[in-house]
């Protein structure tokens, strides 16, 4: 039975002694996850293909040591390559006895094909020319296949974490994988739907290892992918009006904020009684549109 003092936010969400891996941790949602983890005491390995981006993230966003013992450690890797993933895990294993948390945030948006005509001939022409099987394969490989193999590669280290860490993987899917509206991104939305289901399967199939798997399905959040760029701190800005012409209502009337993503990551990282869930962080969009 917990005392009142034990239920303080600082104790409930302390990540002291946690060791984490965040793919795509140098920008966007991956960077938001990295920030909340190190702010609460975790050691966080961030990975991606661009070494300079990872190093700048560590430089710009490492916490004040007087405030938090958290650390950001950049390690470049290609999560779409099994060989690169093996090298990454070997490097982490040479320094750490365990991983407490994996956040699989690396992803790409894929090609865009707009379905805005009632003419089947015109629609066929637009979509046929806008997209290619190779682009679809690349999107799926990064957004789904890499999530699977990254999680599998981390399982032994995740199982080795102290029991009180309630080790887990958090996949970053999307509300786009849950709605019927393509948003002009057939390949991306189809891939994110697969990520949602993959996460559910992994939560069931990996349960005997003691490793939980949950997913966050974000709505509109600022990132390099959504805004096509970022500032010198690798942060992106999305103005409120950006979400007001999407073909559907965004009840919150604004994009999501860094702190809101941070709260979701901290909750799933720490609450060991949650497994197999998809947390919609969408400002109420899925209440307004049709979905699965």
Q: Which pLDDT value is given to residue 19?
A: 98
d(CA 232, CA 55): 12
- Among the listed residues 43, 192, 235, 280, the single catalytic one is 192
Domains and CATH numbers, the chain: 9-287 (3.40.50.720)
pLDDT (tens digit, 9 = 90+) per residue, 49-90? Answer: 999 999 999 999 998 888 888 999 999 999 999 999 999 999
pLDDT higher than threshold 80 for residue 226: no
What does the pLDDT average to over 239-261? 87
Q: Which pLDDT value is given to residue 291?
A: 73
Q: Which pLDDT value is given to residue 176?
A: 93
SS3 216: strand
Residue 268's region, left for phi above 0, alpha for psi from -120 to 50, else beta, is alpha
pLDDT higher than threshold 90 for residue 234: no
- Among the listed residues 176, 188, 215, 235, the single catalytic one is 188
Q: Which pLDDT value is given to residue 213?
A: 98
Higher pLDDT, 15 or 110: 15
- In the chain, the percentage of residues whose pLDDT exceeds 70 is 100
- Among the listed residues 100, 167, 168, 173, the single catalytic one is 173
CB-based burial of residue 160 (10 Å sphere; 0-12 exposed, 13-18 middle, 19+ buried)? middle
Of 91, 93, 94, the C-alpha closest to 74 is: 91
CA 199 to chain centre: 12
Is 223 one of the annotated active-site residues of the chain?
no
Higher pLDDT, 224 or 279: 279
pLDDT (tens digit, 9 = 90+) per residue, 117-148? Answer: 889 998 998 899 989 999 999 999 999 999 99
Highest mean pLDDT among 119-133, 149-163, 219-233, 238-252: 149-163
Is 235 one of the annotated active-site residues of the chain?
no
Is 98 one of the annotated active-site residues of the chain?
no
Mean pLDDT of the chain: 93
Contacts of 256 (CB under 8 A, 6+ apart): 218, 219, 220, 221, 281, 282, 283
Q: Which pLDDT value is given to residue 146?
A: 98
> Could you tell me the pLDDT band of residue 292, with boundaries at 50, 70 and 90?
low
Q: Which pLDDT value is given to residue 247?
A: 72
pLDDT higher than threshold 80 for residue 229: no
Q: Which pLDDT value is given to residue 11?
A: 93
pLDDT higher than threshold 90 for residue 185: no
């Amino acid at each position: 039975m917990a005392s009142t003092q034990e239920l303080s936010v600082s104790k409930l969400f302390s990540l002291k002694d946690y060791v984490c891996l965040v793919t795509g941790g140098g920008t966007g949602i991956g960077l938001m996850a990295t920030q909340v983890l190190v702010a609460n005491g975790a050691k966080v390995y961030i990975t991606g293909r661009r070494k300079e981006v990872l190093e700048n993230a560590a430089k710009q966003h490492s916490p004040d040591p007087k405030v938090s013992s958290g650390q950001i450690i950049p390690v470049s890797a290609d999560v779409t390559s099994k060989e690169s993933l093996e090298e990454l895990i070997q490097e982490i294993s040479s320094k750490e006895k365990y991983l407490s948390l994996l956040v699989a945030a690396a992803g790409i948006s894929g090609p865009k094909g707009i379905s805005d005509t009632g003419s089947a001939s015109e629609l066929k022409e637009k979509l046929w020319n806008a997209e290619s099987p190779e682009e679809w394969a690349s999107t799926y490989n990064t957004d789904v296949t890499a999530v699977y193999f990254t999680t599998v590669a981390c399982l032994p280290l995740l199982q080795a974490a102290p029991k009180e860490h309630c080790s887990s993987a958090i996949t970053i899917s999307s509300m786009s994988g849950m709605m019927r509206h393509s948003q002009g991104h057939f390949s991306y939305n189809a891939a994110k739907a697969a990520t949602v289901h993959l996460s559910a399967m992994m939560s069931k199939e990996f349960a005997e290892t003691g490793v939980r798997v949950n997913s966050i399905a974000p709505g509109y959040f600022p990132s390099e992918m959504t805004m096509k760029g970022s500032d010198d701190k690798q942060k992106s800005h999305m103005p409120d009006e950006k979400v007001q012409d999407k073909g559907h209502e965004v009840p919150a009337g604004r994009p999501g904020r860094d702190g809101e993503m941070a709260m979701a990551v901290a909750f799933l990282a720490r609450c060991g009684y949650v497994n197999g869930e998809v947390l919609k962080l969408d400002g109420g969009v899925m209440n307004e549109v049709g979905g699965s």
